[in-house]
Amino acid sequence: MVRKFAILLVILLAAAAFSLSVHGLIGSELGGLNRQILGIGVQIGDGTFRAEVNGFIPIASVSDIPYLDWAAFSVMEIDPTLLLNFQLDSDLSLYAGIGLILLADFRDSLFILYSDRAFHVKLGVNLLLMNFINVFGEVMTIGGLSGGPYMIGWSGVFSLHIGAGLEF
């Protein structure tokens, strides 16, 4: 009980000190494994620089089991991301971000870096409605360090996401 209260207190303090946004999203890969994904996320920051953490799970891992079991949610991709936000209007903004790719196995308490040479890159647009609801659309891909002339390569796999959330 004390642990839950402490987590709630930290979230409330973060919301008071920064702008806090929680959101859900759904997306689809174009290329690669062509998976559909569900995601949840938290974003902190109000201004040009923001930090975001998203958790993704393939929908297939939920629909493959005959009844909803927490085992479907035991392995998740977690993406901490640094975002650069460009405010176009009081309610409309564009953003770009780059972040690590972590894999988490909650059943075995393992957190693994997907690759020390790969990272997610995303571009998106965010619309704020009624001063506390945000809707967004984004495209994300995997970039990586390579030995080519530009030192950066792309996976060729893109995913499109749409989502909505609440801002505090």
Q: pLDDT class for 45, splitting at 50, 70, 90?
A: confident
Most confident option among 30-34, 111-115, 158-162: 158-162
CB 140 within 8 Å of CB 159: yes
CB 42 within 8 Å of CB 22: yes
If one compares 53 and 105, the residue with the highest pLDDT of the two is 53
User: What's the whole-number mean pLDDT along residues 14-43?
Assistant: 83
Which residue ranges form the domains of the chain, and what is each CATH number? 19-167 (2.40.160.20)
How many CA atoms, within 13 angstroms, populate the side-chain half-sphere of residue 102? Answer: 16
User: What's the whole-number mean pLDDT along residues 125-152?
Assistant: 84
Residue 45, token pair as written in the block: 């920051």
User: What's the whole-number mean pLDDT along residues 20-46?
Assistant: 88
Handedness of CA 103, 105, 106, 110 (dihedral sign): negative
- Beta-ladder partners of 129: 133
Q: Distance between CA 166 and CA 164 in Å, rounded?
A: 7
pTM, whole model, 2 decimals? 0.78
Q: pLDDT class for 29, splitting at 50, 70, 90?
A: confident
Tell me, what's the pLDDT at 23? 95
Mind listing the pLDDT tens digit for each residue in 103-117?
888 778 888 888 888
